Structure 1
Amino acid sequence: MKWIFTFLVLANLAVYGWYKLDATPLTVQIQNREKNASAVKVVTGQLGEASTPAAASPVPTEPPQATNAKPEVTPAAQITPKPQPSATPAKVASICTRWTGITGEQIDSAREKLKALGITSTETSSGESTKVWVYMPPLETLDAAKAKATQLAAMGVTDYFVVNNGGRWQNAISLGIFSTREAGERHLEELKALGVKSAVVRDRDDTLKQASFSSKNLTDAQLDKLNKLSLQYRGSIVREVACK
């Protein structure tokens, strides 16, 4: 039994020696231990307190390689301006007037004052050659004569004026002076066709010398001045008429 025990001990020693001789020596790689050393946290004995990890070293980047290629420039789109519509000048309303009822000595004065105001006008007067006068006989008051004149305008009569010179024909309504009786009678028939009933024709022996002034292309300011001027002449009136 002894020799069996001795044999087993020797056999174990022999196996152990062979294993030691044949095993590859263990090498410790120091470099492997140092790998990721920056990520190691040092824990102290105090609770809740840890050291701040060391900042990682910036990794150097390679500088961009210089290139001779020129940057491609995209041409800006050309914008064609839209044609602007030409401004059409505003049309100025043309004002045409006829100033009537200027009698006797008033005619020369009215003519001069129109020139002073810079108003160009065409004068129409009844001189010594006139033969007949178409008119409505004087009414009782000036207000009644003006009211009758307003009715005439509503009926379509355009050539009339109220006599207001303080003479014999005060408050009469003149409807026109003509060179021949035939022309006067024809105008009287036209008035009757419009509804005028009280108009008459008389010979020129005592008719009034009259004048009217027609103006075109007046401005609002000139029209205002003309209206103010007409107030200085009794019986005269300014009416806007259709421009011809």
Structure 2
Amino acid sequence: MKWLVALVVVLNLVVAMYGSLKQRPPLDVHAQEVSPGQVRLLPANWKPDASAPKAQASAPAASAPAAQPLHETKPAASAAKSQVKPAAKPEASKLAAKAADKPQDKAAQDKAKATPDKTVADKKPEALACYRWSGLNDSLLARVKGGVPQLKLKSGQMQEESKEESKGSGRFWVYYPPLATQSETKTLSAEMRDKGFDNYIVSNDEFKGNLSLGLFGKEDAAKTLVARLKAAGYDKAVVKSKDQPAKITALTFKDLDAAQAERLKALQKRLTPGIALKGC
């Protein structure tokens, strides 16, 4: 009987020791059902709190359901990844867009520099006028210059050109060349007077020493006198048109804008209506 009791006691101890030494099977978290309301999605940059290990160490060993919020199930993890990825995509797309736009922006800037502004290209330069006011004698030139300040010209817009021109007086001079000596010329002058040809010896111009026989308003009258002299034996008489040198000035106005051109035309009509402006 004692042996039977001892054997039972030994068997109980062996069973107790076997139960304590036997390893507990691992908990299959994925096999458990989790309520969607208990699932918490963690952000991509989430880090465990430094105080969390202390709190977990001080707390008694909790059952498996209590520790479930710290572990992510496969659906939750996949959902979190799906939410994190779209957040990263806009940044990557922005960087890619910037990298792609840089060459385009540079090309657009180069094209804009190479292409002239349409408004500037379409704007035509203002046409500048040029006029010539010629045939001005000394008196007319003085009058015109008195009105030039009204044109408000800039430096170099007006140029002046003058030249000497022979102005016909409408008269014709008959003269006889001098002889070899002055005494012979005086003798010739006296003979002509005796024959009815009035004359005198020129002494104050380029024709000094010549015999002046008369100044006529018509060329025919002068030629008639020359014919009479030839008939009397004086065949060296000459007919010369008596012209008077005169200074004639021309003014050139260039690079005139519309307002200056209008003022110039008004000035010309007022001062010299008989002398018109000419283009240059």
TM-score normalised by the chain length of structure 2: 0.25
Higher helix proportion: 2
